[in-house]
Amino acid sequence: MFEGLTAELIDLGAPTFDMQDEMQWWVDGRPLATGPSAMTVLGAGRPLLETAIRRRVAALPNVDIRPETAGTDLLTTPDGTRVIGVRAIAAGEEITIDDASMVVNASGRGSRTRHWLGRLGYPEFEEQRIETQVTYVTRRYRRAPDQLDGRYGTAIAAYPGNTRGGFALAQENDAWALSISGSFGAVPPMDDDDMVAWAGELDCQDVATLLRTCAPLGDPVKMRYPASTRWRYDRMSRFPAGFLVTGDAMCPFNPVYGQGMTVAALEAPILGRLLKDGSDDMAAQFFTESAAFLDVPRITAAANDLRFPDAVGDRSALDPEPGAYLDRLRATAVSDPVLATTFLRVPQLMDTPAALFKPEIAARVPT
């Protein structure tokens, strides 16, 4: 989508490294085996990434970015069957944009689509929800190359019996992005000493050591994510023409898995192709095609979230037999780099969960 983006980010200082060989992953309280994986991480902080993308988007001749403007409602034809624009607040004043051939809501998990469609008389749509009550605190710190024995990061995942997690990732300008997280009422602190103590109770001391020894580069920021919710626009009996919903506004993901931007990027080519083809029933086609690939990361994340007994969600589709197999796979991946690579590729959306059950992989998992 953005030619030269990776090269630019590297030129601006974003480090690149092998996800498995130069980063340590802790799963179910155990470190996965390291080894070359051919999965390259680009350690670009969010402000750097968004600035580079925004610069490219703003340079497009048919793009007009309106800062300090917030959409507040949809404008429709008198019968409410087609969206023709939006109402918005711009610099404190209400404005209308009423010449749209297509309105796309990409406003994230705080989307007001449900309320807008409700006011227009559209029926309620199905909501699939998994409550995890995730809270995480992130802060940037000064990084030295010899820290973590030269590794570029550590990921310590929560698991049943331990609802705390931690994350360290090398970024541009000799910085660490450090996060500590908790679920189901475990709320990480924001005070320096308390953050160190919290991280000290994780299965690995990497994050605690960095928090204790590195100089902060800014203030800590706390984020809350109460539940993963998928709004099933693909199952609505009626939907207005000229309107689409994408990204987290359609299906937000638990942020600890880092899948949200990937999913949004995978939806973009679908939208681009449908716009180019000039589909008469664009919403139905977009939601149907998006739902087909959303099933994979959604089911993957849900299966892990629902391992926790305190998670609130529909467990009827979970099969205990694959669950037991995956427990054995995770345990064996501590000493088997091939299993570790296969396991890591699935949450990165580079393979589907079917890769975990291939005969050559199953043969490496003890019965």
pTM above the 0.85 mark?
yes
Phi, psi of 329 (to 5 degrees): -65, -45
Predicted pLDDT at 178? 98
Same domain, 33 and 156: yes
Average pLDDT value for the chain:
94
Percentage with pLDDT > 70 across the chain: 99
Residue 61 clears pLDDT 90, i.e. is over it: yes
State the pLDDT confidence band at 205, using cuts at 50, 70 and 90.
very high
Same domain, 239 and 272: yes
Same domain, 161 and 25: yes
Same domain, 88 and 118: yes
Q: Does 60 map to a domain?
A: no
Same domain, 261 and 145: no
How many whole angstroms separate alpha carbon 144 and alpha carbon 148?
A: 9
Average pLDDT estimate for 132-155: 96
Least confident of 161-170, 213-222, 280-289, 310-319: 310-319
Amino acid identity of residue 350, one-letter, is: M
Predicted pLDDT at 300? 83
Same domain, 142 and 43: yes
State the pLDDT confidence band at 170, using cuts at 50, 70 and 90.
very high
Residue whose C-alpha is closest to residue 364's, from 336, 342, 345, 341? 336
Least confident of 126-135, 154-163, 295-304: 295-304
- What CATH number corresponds to the domain at position 117? 3.50.50.60
Same domain, 211 and 100: no
194: enclosing H helix or E strand? helix 192-200
Q: Does 290 map to a domain?
A: yes
How many whole angstroms separate alpha carbon 38 and alpha carbon 76?
A: 49
Q: Does 113 map to a domain?
A: yes
Residue ranges making up the domain that contains 353: 321-362
State the pLDDT confidence band at 105, using cuts at 50, 70 and 90.
very high
Q: Does 208 map to a domain?
A: yes
> How many domains are there within the chain?
3
Give a three-class secondary structure readout of 271-339: HHHHHHHCCCCHHHHHHHHHHHHHHHHHHHHHHHHCCCCCCECCCCCCCHHHHHHHHHHHHHCCCCHHH
Same domain, 118 and 137: no
Same domain, 154 and 215: yes
State the pLDDT confidence band at 255, using cuts at 50, 70 and 90.
confident
Spatial contact of 179 and 167, defined as CB atoms under 8 Å apart:
yes
Predicted pLDDT at 366? 95
**Tokens read off for 354:** 């079917």
Residue 60 clears pLDDT 80, i.e. is over it: yes
Same domain, 172 and 139: yes
Average pLDDT estimate for 21-49: 96
Same domain, 122 and 133: no
Q: Does 75 map to a domain?
A: yes
Beta carbons within 8 Å of 111's beta carbon, 6+ residues apart: 105, 245, 248, 249
Same domain, 140 and 238: no
Predicted pLDDT at 304? 87
